[in-house]
Each structure stands twice: as structure tokens, then as C-alpha cells.
Structure 1
Amino acid sequence: MELRGYEVGLSIRTLQRDIKDIAEMFDVEIKNYRGYGYYVDERSEETDIRYQELLMNFDLLTSMNQNSQSVGFILPEHHRPKGSDSIPILISAIKEQRFVEFEYILVRKGNKLISKSVKPHFLKESLGLWYLLAFDEHDTLKAYGIDRMQNINVADKTFKRDETINPDELFKHSYGIWDDPSMPVEEIELSYSSLDGKFIKTTPLHSSQKIIIDNDTEFRISLRLRITNDFVMALLSRSASLTVIKPPSLRARIREIYKEAIERNN
């Protein structure tokens, strides 16, 4: 830590707890060679990548602290996502398998407040915002925007965590946080200019993205996912050169949005 420019000084109990958490989350084993100190045990190439991610994330998180030595050369956003201060509390509730109680803002219903008591299972980041994935009173897994949660309280009441859930499968066919299993998974084909293609190649729209054409005149890709509002909004962000090849329903939907926008701005 001293080599990386950070102050050191913590209890043995805290160190042992952190070493255990690092091993569980990043598959990085830290050992103590008596008389010499601590060292990171030999690891595979895959584990080494996760180790580098750990160090990078540590640098980024500490840069948010004005007292950090990194603040002079890391420039975070001037605004932090609303509710992000609640993340440590929610992580603790997830690990301890405790119910979380809060008031939730229903934006689409005039900012109406409702009371919720849920079983927290995961935290998910999407498009710069954080969401709590939790089972509600009907044992339905739902996503709650942390920016819309108020008066958060971790209850003494505990629950048994559902270990059968595969987090990698939860949003496999979705863009962003909205996943509606009742919606079909569709084959999508999109065409862009070669310039826009350079950006889309660097930052794919979805994990299913495959390149069909990549030349000086066209960049064409295929995708396989549910066509949610979040996905449509993402397409509009680079619509200057977008051509929807298929499906026809998506092409018509984009055309209608263009038509209404022209009428509003005529």
C-alpha cells in the first residue's frame, strides 16, 4: 500500500477480515510469510486480471475522497449518483441476509411513496445508476433504483438466501436493468456508418453483439435480446447513422419516434 501511495495502519482483525473478503470476491489468496510479511500467492492469468481490477477499483474509489493522494490525477464526475452513499449499508444487509425496509418513490405515479420490506440479493450498476435486486412480499425478484429509496433501514429480521440464482443469467437477454421474461428474445440487425462503428466496436451495445460487416462504408452488427425501452433509447443516442435492418417492428418503432420528434420541433 505504501508503494501505491496510500497511508497504512489498521488492526490485525480488520486485516484478516479484508484478506478473507478479497479471497472470496477476487479469488486472490494473500499469505503471511512469518518474519517477512504478507504476499499474494501465485495465481492463474484469469485470477491476475481480477487482481488488477481490484487495484484499479481501489484507486478509483479512494479518488472520491478529497484526502486521497490520487485526487490530483483522477477526475471523477462532479456529481455522484443519488443514493450511492447507501451502497455500503445494502452490501452489509445482503451479506448478513437481513430484510431491508425503505420508502420507494414511484416516479410514473407522481412521485408517490410506498413502503417496502424486501430480501436483498444483489446490487447491479446500469448506465451510471445503481439498483438493488431483491425479493418483494410476493417473492418476486424486482429491481429498485437506489436513487429512489428513502429512509433505508436494515431490519433485525433475517431470511434464507436463494443460492440457486445465477446472476449471469438474470439480464442475459436484456439491455440495462429492465428485464421482462414475457417479452420475446429477438434477432436484431443494425447498420451504422464506419465512424460510428469504431465506437460501437469499442463499447458493444450488448454481450450478444456480433460484427457482420466492417469496412470503409458500413458497420453492421447482429444482436439477440429483448427490445425494451432502455434498448430503444440506447439506439437513439447514436441515431445519426443508424439503419434498422430487422426486425420490421423495431424499424417501425424508430421511424415513429423520428416522426413525432420532427413534428414537435418543426
Structure 2
Amino acid sequence: MLRLQHLKRAVPFEELRRYLLEQTSLRDLAANYSQRTFQRDLPKIAERFGVVIEHDRRQGGYVIATADLLPEGYQRLLDAFELQEFLRLPSALSPFVQWEARRPVGTEWLQPLLRAVQQRRQVQFDYHKFWDQAPTKRTVSPLLLKEFKGRWYLLAHEPARQGLRCFGLDRMRAVEPIAQAFDLPEGFEADTYYAHSFGIIRPDHEAPSEIVLALEPTQGQYLKSFPLHSSQRVLVDTDAELLIQLTVYNTHDLLMELLSLGDQVQVLAPVSLRKHIKQIHATAMKASPV
């Protein structure tokens, strides 16, 4: 699909197949990929991505006939869809591929939810919170799909509760789009809503904090290559330490991330967060056996 978008011309099937052989690590499978199989896959591509691919006999190749507009950042969604297919790899490839026993749950809802977000149509689903005994039926106006730590979430406006809610796709069941259209909440901007959030929590009545962290040099290299947040800025970078600054909400998600770094990180600011982490470590020491 991306190949067709890039070339902007009719592409013969053999050229597409050669591209698969060059780009995929599953060369044996790609080599056996026939034009008939490709034809069978076209309806799935149209349903999954909103892209209709047709064969143009006059031009002698495949072209994109129509395509829905995908939201910014759609490449991560494509990655998630590809992961679904990757997890179905034949057992013959197991000597070459290892994955965690913990596999993402709920990714089957990405397709209908993405379509509902694009079309601004409400959806219904059963939602089972981890701390509730039974699921509840929810009807929401889907606004945004967000990924965090391998899990996918739906940010939506829930008319019954008159507010924005975040739902984990792994806790959804029986997702069904409905015909009811909706308008975006006043002032809502999808591209800025989570701009200062680490994770999925966004306090409604709180300003972002300037978080300053001191890291050991080795751990600092990890965070330089894979920043904690898009706002991350290096203040000091020496052989002795790395100081970075984040402009984010001081939330539980951020706290859990900092605690996971153990003694490789020190919180220099704000003082309230530094004291909170110190208290957590002190409580853990008291609870630990002698």
C-alpha cells in the first residue's frame, strides 16, 4: 500500500512481489505469494485501511482507486496491524523469532474504532474495569486512539457522563459502531490534547511541571537514544552525569516510570515529586523483611 502511494503510478504485480522479497525478512513466504492471493487480500486491505486498490488493465498494473484520510501518526497503527499478522507466523519460523509470552490484547478493535474516529460515528461496547465485578455497556463518541507501553487506548467523549474518558482496548468487548454522528467537543484538539502527558493521564485542572532528572551516564545514554517524552531537553551532558528536563504533567504514569529506573535516576525538581519518591522508597524499606 505504501509502495503504491509512493510511486503514484500503476505497478505490475511482479514488481510488487519483488518489492516484498526485498523488504520483508520472511522471504520464503513472500516468494510463494501469488497474484491470486493478492487479489483475495484486497478486500481486507480496503476494510482495514480504507484504501481501495484496483487493477488497471489499460495501464497494466495496480493503482490506488480511493483512500480515506488517515490521522496523523497512522504509521504506528500500521505497525500494530502488522504486529497482528506477525503473531500469526508459522511455527516453522520459531527458531528465528522469539516474542514475549505477554501479547497485546484488544488490537482487534483498532480497525472499527479507527473507522469510527474518522467518520465521527459513535460506538457501543461492553467495558470491564479491572476492579468491577461485571462489565457495563458504554456509548461514546470516539476522538483519538493512543498507544502507551504496548497497550492501546481510546479517548472518547461519553455523553452519559458529560466528559472525556480513556478506555483500554484490552478491556473492551463487543465493539459495535452505530449510526449516530457527533461533533467534536468545543476546544478539543487531538494533536495537542496529550502534548504534555506521559502516558494516558491528563489532569484537567493542573499545569504541566518542569521535571528535572539526573541520571547515571550509562542510563542517560538509553534516555538520549529513546527519550522519555517529546519535550525532553538535555541540560548537562558530561562523563559524570546527564541532566534532562521534561515539561509534563506530574502523574501516576510518570511516577511509575521514574520508580522503575531505581537508583539510576535522581529527581531534582520539583521538590514535591522528589519528596514523594523518597517517601515511597522509605515505606518500601520498612515493609521489607530483615
Give TM-score, length-normalised by structure 1: 0.78
Please give the alpha-carbon distance, in whole angstroms, between the structure 2 residues aligned to 1:52 and 1:114.
32
| 1:180 equivalent in alignment to 2:180 | no
**What's the secondary structure of 1:10's corresponding residue?**
helix
Q: Which has the higher helix share?
A: 2
2:264 to 235, 241, 252: 241
Instruction: Report if the CA contact (8 A) 1:64-1:71 is conserved.
Output: no
Quote how far apart the aligned CAs of 1:204 are.
0.8
Q: Could you tell me the percent identity over the aligned residues?
A: 29
Instruction: Report if the CA contact (8 A) 1:210-1:221 is conserved.
Output: yes
Which residue pairs with 1:160 in the alignment? 182
Letter in 2 for 1:125: E
Quote how far apart the aligned CAs of 1:195 are.
0.7
2:255 to 221, 228, 232: 232
Within 5 Å, which residues of 2 pair with 1:5-24?
5=21, 6=30, 7=33, 8-10=37-39, 14=43, 17=46, 21=50
2:136 to 105, 114, 133: 114
Instruction: Report if the CA contact (8 A) 1:63-1:70 is conserved.
Output: no
Quote how far apart the aligned CAs of 1:69 are.
9.9
Please give the alpha-carbon distance, in whole angstroms, between the structure 1 residues aligned to 2:78 and 2:93.
13
Quote how far apart the aligned CAs of 1:22 are.
5.7
| 1:252 equivalent in alignment to 2:275 | yes
**What's the secondary structure of 2:38's corresponding residue?**
coil
Letter in 1 for 2:282: K
Please give the alpha-carbon distance, in whole angstroms, between the structure 2 residues aligned to 1:95 and 1:150.
21
Please give the alpha-carbon distance, in whole angstroms, between the structure 2 residues aligned to 1:176 and 1:95.
23
| 1:2 equivalent in alignment to 2:17 | yes
Note the alpha carbon deviations across 1:75-128, whole angstroms, 9 max, x for none: 4433322222222232233344332222222334x4453321111122111111
Letter in 2 for 1:249: S
Please give the alpha-carbon distance, in whole angstroms, between the structure 2 residues aligned to 1:213 and 1:197.
11
2:146 to 107, 112, 124: 124
Quote how far apart the aligned CAs of 1:51 are.
11
Which residue pairs with 2:218 in the alignment? 195
Which residue pairs with 1:27 in the alignment? none
Between 209-218 and 82-91, the greater mean CA deviation after superposition:
82-91
Which residue pairs with 1:136 in the alignment? 158
Instruction: Report if the CA contact (8 A) 1:213-1:221 is conserved.
Output: yes
Aligned CA distance change for structure 1 residues 134 and 15 (closer, same or farther; 3 Å): closer
Instruction: Report if the CA contact (8 A) 2:143-2:190 is conserved.
Output: no
Aligned CA distance change for structure 1 residues 173 and 36 (closer, same or farther; 3 Å): same
Aligned CA distance change for structure 1 residues 77 and 89 (closer, same or farther; 3 Å): farther
Gaps of 5+ in 2: 1-15, 22-29, 65-72
| 1:37 equivalent in alignment to 2:61 | yes
Letter in 2 for 1:2: R
Q: What is the number of equivalent residue pairs in this alignment?
A: 250
RMSD of aligned residue pairs (Cα, Å): 3.6
1:209 to 232, 235, 244: 232
Aligned CA distance change for structure 1 residues 224 and 61 (closer, same or farther; 3 Å): same
Letter in 2 for 1:127: K
